[in-house]
Amino acid sequence: MTTRILTGITTTGTPHLGNYAGAIRPAIVASRAADADSFYFLADYHALIKCDDPARIQRSRLEIAATWLALGLDVNKATFYRQSDIPEIPELCWLLTCVAGKGLLNRAHAYKASVDKNVEAGEDPDAGITMGLFSYPVLMAADILMFNAHKVPVGRDQIQHVEMARDIGQRFNHLFGAGRELFTLPEAVIEEEVATLPGLDGRKMSKSYDNTIPLFGSAKQLKDAIARIVTDSRLPGEPKDADGSHLFTLYQAFATPAQQAEFRAELEGGLAWGEAKNRLYQLLESELGEARERYNALIARPADLEDILLAGAAKARKIATPFLGELREAVGLRSFREQVQTAAGEKKKAAKSARFVSFRDEDGSFRFRLLDAAGEQLLLSKAFADGKSAGMVNKRLQSGEPLDVRAEGQGFGVWLDDECVATSPAFADAVALDAAIARLREALATQE
């Protein structure tokens, strides 16, 4: 069995080295496994929650798409798309919103943190908090449940969101699954092995600390960033503490064990920091140089990127469209066409109960009508002098003997022994007339 792995990347920034080592590289490696069915997407609807700068959103989408492709994501094996190209996702998000408990969402860390901050600042608890932020986990649940992902690789800060997706999916299954699992319940995967890179200052590399090394900046930008890595003040020739140096930690994340051992020995042997930085630069350049070329080529051809992403979206929608159809059915958003068919079905059944109604006319004569299932009159008999003769004719019409139906003007008559014994009302046109004759034959054929 294949494992469906799904993860989203919020498109608000430019990928840096920390994103590469911590998320992109392991995700691309995982996507190559024979039993992996990977869904990686640009979470650009999520980006709108955090960012109201259209230019930045657009730039980031382009850069992130180019980054993943340049680093070797195989879009023929994985499914790579933009969230905003899948209209089924916001639609599913609404279906899930209708079952997600408000209390559940009240407990989301990101929302709670914003509320706490407001309260601390003496503001209204919900000051500046959008419904987008509040509903963020529901949209994320839609991303995940839409494709029935088994595994969702995320950072620790996202574990709660994946658990909420489970909760919401479970609730939906319970309410609408009629005993079957509409949604696969996902599991968060935290890669313990994966490197959390230190930034230039030694804290975790993060855009919010402004301590990042650009992934695909120019060679000069890379060199400049490395030059800013903070080291201790040991002079050239003095032994360095490799394990106490985040420069060494950065080096380790990209080096083979042999390279690591060699670098460590050199540092302990007194390698100058300037020279050490140069080693790191060479290492990163060899790791990323070719990918940077590919990246620049991709960025230069945004129309090609557009095509690749639209093809990814088409691939994803092959799953999303029919599945959403099932889900709409499940909640009761169904086509009326089916309703019409059932109504027709009922009519057919009821046709068996098309019925004769006998009555006495004002002048005392005896007559009967034949009504179809819908209660519409198909026939009105002539006037009989007594109930018995009316009954006999009525019986013969139901006996199954061949019917002698003759069209007359806008309607038709039914004949027995060269006598017209009953007539239809007038119909609007020939089509309606034919249909009525068909109904008459059907009604009489199914009379017992």
Q: Smaller CB distance to ligand TRP: residue 22 or 413?
A: 22
Q: Which residues pair with 420 in a beta bridge?
A: 415
Instruction: Say which residues have a Cβ less than 8 Å from residue 326's Cβ, sequence separation at least 6.
Output: 182
Minimum gap (Å) between residue 324 Cβ and ligand TRP: 17
Does 10 contact ligand TRP by CB under 6 A?
yes
- Which of 105, 143, 277, 298 contacts ligand TRP by CB under 6 A? 143
Segment interacting with ligand TRP (CB under 6 A) among 6-14, 24-32, 96-104, 431-439:
6-14
186/413 with CB nearer ligand TRP: 186
Rank residues 186 and 198 by Cβ distance to ligand TRP and give the closer one: 186
By CB under 6 A, is residue 152 in contact with ligand TRP?
Answer: yes
Q: Which of 4, 7, 65, 105 binds ligand TRP (CB under 6 A)?
A: 7
Among 86, 95, 140, 316, interactor with ligand TRP by CB under 6 A: 140
Q: Does 144 interact with ligand TRP (rule: CB under 6 A)?
A: yes
- Considering beta carbons, is residue 136 or 366 the nearer one to ligand TRP? 136
Of 138-146, 350-358, 394-402, 422-430, which segment contacts ligand TRP by CB under 6 A?
Answer: 138-146
372 lies in the binding site for ligand TRP (CB under 6 A): no
Q: State the nearest-atom distance from the C-beta of 54 to ligand TRP, in Å.
A: 19
Contact 247, 213 (CB under 8 A): no
Complex with ligand TRP: residue 84 or 381, whichever CB lies closer: 84
Determine the interface stretch with ligand TRP among 1-9, 93-101, 327-335, 386-394 (rule: CB under 6 A): 1-9
Q: Lay out the site mask for ligand TRP across 23-52 (x = CB under 6 A, - = otherwise).
A: --------------------x--x------
Angle, CA 85 vertex, CA 82 and CA 87 arms, to 5°: 130
Look up residue 284 and give its two tokens.
């990163």
Instruction: Please state, in angstroms and as integers, the Cα–Cα distance from residue 79 to each residue in 22, 44, 76, 158, 321, following that order.
Output: 20, 16, 7, 22, 15
Q: Residues binding ligand TRP: what is the number (CB under 6 A)?
A: 12
Min dist. Cβ of residue 189 to ligand TRP (A): 10
**CA–CA distance, 383 with 289 (Å, rounded to integer):** 101
What is the smallest separation between the CB atom of 83 and ligand TRP, expressed in angstroms?
7
In angstroms, the CA 281 to CA 317 distance is 42
Contact segment (CB under 6 A) with ligand TRP among 88-96, 100-108, 139-147, 440-448 equals: 139-147
Q: Is 84 in the site for ligand TRP (CB under 6 A)?
A: no
What distance in Å separates the CA atoms of residue 88 and residue 314, rounded to the nearest whole number? 12
Nearest approach in angstroms of CB 8 to ligand TRP is 3
Query: Would you put residue 186 in left (φ > 0), alpha (ψ -120 to 50) or beta?
Result: beta
**Min dist. Cβ of residue 159 to ligand TRP (A):** 10
Residues numbered 154 to 193 that lie near ligand TRP (CB under 6 A) are 154, 158
CB of 283 to ligand TRP, least distance (A): 28
Between residues 8 and 169, which has the closer beta carbon with respect to ligand TRP?
A: 8
Q: Do 374 and 349 meet the contact criterion of CB atoms below 8 Å apart?
A: no
CB of 224 to ligand TRP, least distance (A): 28
Closest residue (Cβ) to ligand TRP?
8
CB atoms within 10 A of CB 316: 23
Residues that bind ligand TRP (CB under 6 A): 6-8, 10, 43, 46, 140, 143-144, 152, 154, 158
